[in-house]
Structure 1
Amino acid sequence: MELLQLQYFVRVAHLEHMTEAAQSLYVTQSSLSRTIRRLEESVGVPLFDRIGKKLKLNAYGQAFLPRAEKALFELEQGRQKLLDMRHPEQSSIRLAVTNASTLPQILQTFREQYPHIPFHVQMCATDEMESLLEKGDVDIGLASLPIHRDTLEYEIVLNDPILIAIPNTHHLAQKRVNELSLNELAGESLIGVKRGYHTRDLVDQACTKAGFVPTYILEGNEPARLGAFIEAGIGIGFLPATGIQTADDFSSKVRLMPSQPPLMRQIVLVWRQETYISQAAQEFRRVVRGHFAKSAENQKNYENNS
């Protein structure tokens, strides 16, 4: 059994089409077919059911695929470790991020401290991030709980309060801190991110538990841009504290208040189990921990001064 055979098998298994697989691998279809047949001869069973140029993994192929993927993953991890040992100055990092609001500051700090380490960032939803991590296409993820795949590990780096942002012209803005109950928002015009975002899921679940269905008049993809609509008095919003940074950074036209009961999301660093963590990735994790430790301190100061 050869490494090339495993690489070709995994690609064909994912595409289930010989022509497309050959094109993606930059080899001829005949060469790819011969390599797959040699692998099948080596393992002693057919791995695909063939219908013309289309292939479909059979029961043998389905049983073999996760083992082949794991073998390739482990070999790549070994290669990465050796490269890191020999040329630590050439280390790089691949990131997948679902929480974008804090990323510019994190990357700025990382680049200032480690200008020689290149990085590549993909902005994506949680399920895509988990898939990229599982396949080894990225090294580290930055997301919110929950993480669904058992193959992934995570470290909680911040408990991030979700604050209620109320235009100062609204009567609820006159409430004292910690006096605003969530059920007082029943029937109010709300502004928030679209369904599928973890923050939205938390808010909707809390509102349902408080006895009402939230009424959204504006939904967006980028939490950082919702503040302008709240400032304009369009509605009341729910904003993660990390997206606001500090109270002084936010407009004087908006009152920020915690809800009762409190709403909280947990921000996590995520990586695949048994993955070799490069020196670059370790330094990135250190920068992330430091950034969120500072954010937690800023939030504590804000609460003490409110």
Structure 2
Amino acid sequence: MNSTTVIENKASIKSFLSDLKQLTKVGLSLSVVFSSIAGYLLAVDRVNYTTLSLLAIGGFLMVGASNVFNQIIEKDTDALMKRTMNRPLPTGRMSVGFAFFIAISFTILGLAILYSINAKSALFGAISIFLYTCAYTPLKSVTPLTVFVGAFPGAIPFMLGWVAATDQFGIEAGFLFMIQFFWQFPHFWAIGWLQFEEYKKAGFSMLPMNRKDRGAIKQILFYTSIMILVSVAPVFKVTGAFYIYPLTAVIVVLLGFVMLYYAYQLYKTQDNKEARKLMLSSVLYITVVQIVYVVDKFLH
């Protein structure tokens, strides 16, 4: 084998791995795994590293599968948008058949791993893949309510960690679900605002009433406020075994106010720059809140 062949082989392997990374949306999948781990740590007194590893791998495969199914369904619309036109399927770098094989493999393996933790974890994993693939993705071109539908699978990971640790779905897991559920509205509507023209090309309805106006921002302000209230509820000890110190609640409120501030700035200016700040502050919010909850838990 000459050196040119070796270089070409290395380049093609690198290109394939890059395509696989895009297809499974590795960054997004890892952020979901982060949420699941945070949910697990909130539920346990002693960490079982085997369970934690299984949760991380199973969760990653579950989200990866959902993302691949999503890209198979949206292959033609992805080709219309600048942000997505260079993905492996619209460019033809990868076949739909091969992508489907990956999606099915990830689904079976991911759910089997979650089942090895407990049956409830596998059930919620299956519900998440089903809703994301069969409800959220097809509804994007039909109704703005797609964001509401998509918030259900999107809110499962944080809760999944608690279920994996306890084999229980009670008020604690319910609140973890609600925190991530309400967070998704400002987050995805900020993205919907930024990508409005692109989504329009693909025929996607991603803003309330599918209009880029102050009405949509009022909804963002409303759901951000609900998110903050749900996030601080554990300080009042109304959420079972899951509760937080007052100082933690103050940090959560301050982080929420950062989001509210950018949402209000967006209301005043209707400028994409403010929508981007809102989107970034929402990512900061969900990441830091989960970290702060876990730190708080281990200070109890």
Task: Give the TM-score normalised by structure 2.
Answer: 0.23
Higher relative contact order (CA 8 A, sep 6+): 1
Q: Identify the structure with the greater strand proportion.
A: 1
Task: Give the TM-score normalised by structure 1.
Answer: 0.23
Larger Rg: 1
Q: Identify the structure with the greater helix proportion.
A: 2
